Structures are given as structure tokens and as C-alpha cells.
């Protein structure tokens, strides 16, 4: 079996300019981008080498842009233009949805493919938009045995009914109420469905945290 740091396959190869903003919603799903959906940048722990950078302007660092009043108001957005491979939390800033479109990049074209990381999301913590990696948060993924863990389809408020291998995350079996509190806007409702997970995927306890494992 291979241990998967699962990421969405982004069907993207940048061949033009990267002057836009790549956003991820408060539930980790990709939000609408003003340019290429793969157009985030900076250093990455994923495969590949970044070939361009961007400044993102003042909005990215404006404390007012990080202000929030409730769950469901925050997104992850990248001020950099080019990122090859799988982005990690440090490649993004967490901003409110109103301000995020102003955090844009300016930089050269990127000749590489980018992937989306389903383990990342943003929530409103103490009035400030804050990003998190579900794999590192004990309250969401801490475990001592595989029975503590379950698969989840994406990190949105609502699970997708049809789960993709590349959108899977692994969480504690009792984490759903906490995730709903962190990710769902007040009174947000979800469709009632039983997600269908890939047969070759499982949630295991690896080094004290739930992890997605894909059988070959």
C-alpha cells in the first residue's frame, strides 16, 4: 500500500500569464479563481519547482482582510503566481471571502502542473480567518488506532456524495460536529446522502493522526 498525501489532480498546465488569485473555500474546495485554477505560487513541499513569484499587494497582509464574524466566511488564497506539485498550508493566506479577490499575484508564466491539497481549509477563529491542515489538528485527526478514523469526502461543510480518491481526507470518527462548527455558515444545510468512497481507500492511524491509505 502507498500512504497518500491525497491531492486533487488539477487538470492544469500553465502556458500563459499567472496574474490572478487561486482560492480555496472555507471547506477546502476550490473557489472561483480570477485566472488559472492552478495559479498559486511560492515554495511547496510537493513535487516540482516553482518558476515564478508574486507580491499579492497590500490586501494579502491587511488585518481587515482577515476579519470575520462567523464560520463559512473564510477562504485560503495564494498571493504567489506559480506553484508546481502539491501546495501546503504555508503557500496560502486565510482571508475573508470579500477581500480574497484583492489578493492577486503578478508574475511570469509557469510551465508546470499543479495539484490541489484537500487537507487544507480556513475557518473563523476569534474573529480572524485562520488556515488549518486537518492532518495536523488533534481535534480533527488525532488517533491511537485505525478504529478512531474514517474517510471523508473533501473538507467542505458538506461531504460530496460521490467521493473521488483525490479529494479524500481522513478524520476522527467523532470529528464531524467540530468540522461542521468550523466550516459551515450559520443555518447552512447539506443534501442527505451516503458518500460512496473508493473501494481501495481506507483511513488508518499513522504516527498519531488519521491518514488516507490507498491500496495498490
3-state secondary structure 107-143: CCCCCCEEEECCCEEEEEECCEEEEEEHHHCHHHHEC
Average pLDDT in the 112-137 region? 94
Average pLDDT, the chain: 78
Average pLDDT in the 20-25 region? 48
User: Which pLDDT score, from 0 to 100, does residue 105 have?
Assistant: 75
Distance CA 103, CA 111 (A): 22
Q: Return the higher-pLDDT residue of 149 and 105.
A: 149
Q: How far is CA 126 from CA 4, 69, 141, 171, in A?
A: 32, 8, 22, 23
* pTM beyond cutoff 0.85: no
User: Which pLDDT score, from 0 to 100, does residue 101 have?
Assistant: 92
Distance CA 151, CA 107 (A): 38
pLDDT at position 25 over 80: no
pLDDT at position 147 over 80: yes
- Give residue-wise pLDDT tens across range 59-82: 898 999 999 999 999 999 988 777
Q: Smallest Cα–Cα separation from 97: which of 77, 118, 127?
A: 77
User: Which pLDDT score, from 0 to 100, does residue 26 have?
Assistant: 52
Amino acid at each position: 500500500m502507498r500512504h497518500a498525501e491525497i491531492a486533487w489532480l488539477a487538470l492544469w498546465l500553465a502556458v500563459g500569464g499567472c496574474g490572478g488569485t487561486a482560492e480555496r473555500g472555507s471547506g477546502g474546495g476550490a473557489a472561483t479563481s480570477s485566472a488559472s485554477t492552478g495559479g498559486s505560487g511560492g515554495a511547496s513541499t510537493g513535487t516540482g519547482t516553482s518558476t515564478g513569484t508574486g507580491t499579492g499587494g497590500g490586501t494579502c497582509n491587511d488585518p481587515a482582510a482577515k476579519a470575520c464574524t462567523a464560520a463559512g466566511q473564510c477562504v485560503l488564497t495564494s498571493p504567489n503566481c506559480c506553484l508546481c506539485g502539491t501546495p501546503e498550508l504555508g503557500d496560502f493566506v486565510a482571508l475573508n471571502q470579500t477581500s480574497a479577490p484583492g489578493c492577486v499575484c503578478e508574475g511570469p508564466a509557469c510551465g508546470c502542473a499543479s495539484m490541489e491539497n484537500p487537507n487544507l481549509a480556513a475557518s473563523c477563529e476569534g474573529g480572524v480567518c485562520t488556515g488549518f491542515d486537518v492532518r495536523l489538528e488533534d481535534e480533527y485527526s488525532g488517533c491511537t488506532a485505525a478504529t478512531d478514523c474514517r474517510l471523508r469526502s473533501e473538507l467542505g461543510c458538506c461531504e460530496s456524495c460521490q467521493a473521488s480518491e483525490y479529494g479524500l481526507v481522513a478524520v476522527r470518527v467523532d470529528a464531524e460536529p467540530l468540522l461542521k462548527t468550523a466550516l459551515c455558515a450559520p443555518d447552512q444545510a447539506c443534501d442527505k446522502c451516503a458518500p460512496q468512497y473508493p473501494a481501495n481507500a481506507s483511513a488508518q492511524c499513522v504516527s498519531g493522526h488519521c491518514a488516507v491509505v490507498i491500496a495498490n
